Amino acid sequence: MKSAAETRSVIEALSHQHPEADTELHYRNAFELLAATILSAQATDVGVNKVTPALFAKFPDARALAGAPAVEVESLIHSTGFFRQKAKALTGMSRALVERHGGEVPRTLEALVKLPGVGRKTANVVLGHALGVPGFPVDRHVLRVSNRLGIADSDDPDRVEQQLTGALPPGLWTRASDTLILHGRRICKPEPLCSQCAAAEACAFHANASLLPAPAKPRAASRRKAVKARPRSKPAASRRR
């Protein structure tokens, strides 16, 4: 795995490639980002941004959403998928905010992850973007890209969070996570576009891929033989039983 200095330099190169990296969810305060992030599970940010204006117009804060009828919330968020579980998580989270935190979003990871429907990734998104508290959300893109680059070496999101936050100063955490997410969406996709990657020279995955021999092309003679040897298909009638 790369050293802390090497990790910083890889993140710097990618930050130059993606200067606009930021969450793509629309929100006006920590409560809205918390709700939008819960809705973003198994959904696109674009899809979530389509439903949140109507949701927050009707239920603008934790007190309003805590008492919202389930059917009404479900119909407002229906298009994001898993709408029953999500509606339950939203109202449960809002009730917990009212009962435990006076309707406000708490500013610590420990308190956030105790809210219904809120995991470590969601908590870190809210801390880093809406509360100005360093947080390092690790999603599937961060997992894939960081392991390929060799700046992390685990498929456990908590372990990867530990490795990356150990290598980077807290002030860079949220930006670094946004950068890795955007890089994973645009360049380091499951089928990576390494020729367009600003960190290719430092990438362990790319270095290993370049060492692999190119797959051999079948020679013309053996291709002809293969065509000859291919059994003819039987007439349709004889195939019927």
199 binds ligand SF4 per the rule CB under 6 A: yes
Rounded distance between C-alpha atoms, residue 202 and residue 91, angstroms: 46
Both structure tokens of 159:
């372990």
182 binds ligand SF4 per the rule CB under 6 A: no
192 binds ligand SF4 per the rule CB under 6 A: yes
Q: Considering only 126-134, 160-168, 185-193, 220-228, which stretch makes contact with ligand SF4 by CB under 6 A?
A: 185-193
Identified binder of ligand SF4 from the candidate list 38, 51, 131, 188, rule CB under 6 A: 188
Q: Considering only 41-49, 189-197, 214-222, 224-232, which stretch makes contact with ligand SF4 by CB under 6 A?
A: 189-197
Whose Cβ is closer to ligand SF4: residue 18's or residue 86's?
Answer: 18
206 binds ligand SF4 per the rule CB under 6 A: yes
Identified binder of ligand SF4 from the candidate list 149, 167, 172, 180, rule CB under 6 A: 149
Whose Cβ is closer to ligand SF4: residue 17's or residue 49's?
Answer: 17
Query: DSSP state, 79?
Result: G
- Tell me which of 2, 86, 121, 178 is the catalytic residue: 121
Whose Cβ is closer to ligand SF4: residue 111's or residue 194's?
Answer: 194
Identified binder of ligand SF4 from the candidate list 90, 148, 177, 182, rule CB under 6 A: 148
Rounded distance between C-alpha atoms, residue 143 and residue 152, angstroms: 8
For residue 9, how many other CB atoms are within 10 A of its CB? 15
Using DSSP, state whether 17 is helix, strand or coil. Answer: helix
Task: Assess whether 178 carries a catalytic annotation.
Answer: no
Nearest approach, Cβ of residue 125 and ligand SF4 (Å): 22
* C-alpha dist (Å) from residue 214 to 11, 217, 220: 30, 9, 18
Rounded distance between C-alpha atoms, residue 198 and residue 187, angstroms: 10
Whose Cβ is closer to ligand SF4: residue 65's or residue 199's?
Answer: 199
181 binds ligand SF4 per the rule CB under 6 A: no
Is residue 30 within 8 A of residue 131, CB to CB? The reply is yes
Per-residue buried b or exposed e for 222-239, using 16+ beta carbons within 10 Å of the residue's own CB: eeeeeeeeeeeeeeeeee
> Which residue is associated with the tokens 């930021």?
22
Rounded distance between C-alpha atoms, residue 116 and residue 91, angstroms: 9
The torsion of the CA quartet 58, 61, 62, 68, rounded to 10 degrees, works out to -10
Nearest approach, Cβ of residue 170 and ligand SF4 (Å): 24
Task: Just list the catalytic residues.
Answer: 121, 139
Residues in contact with ligand SF4 by CB under 6 A are 145, 148-149, 187-188, 192-194, 197, 199-200, 203, 205-206
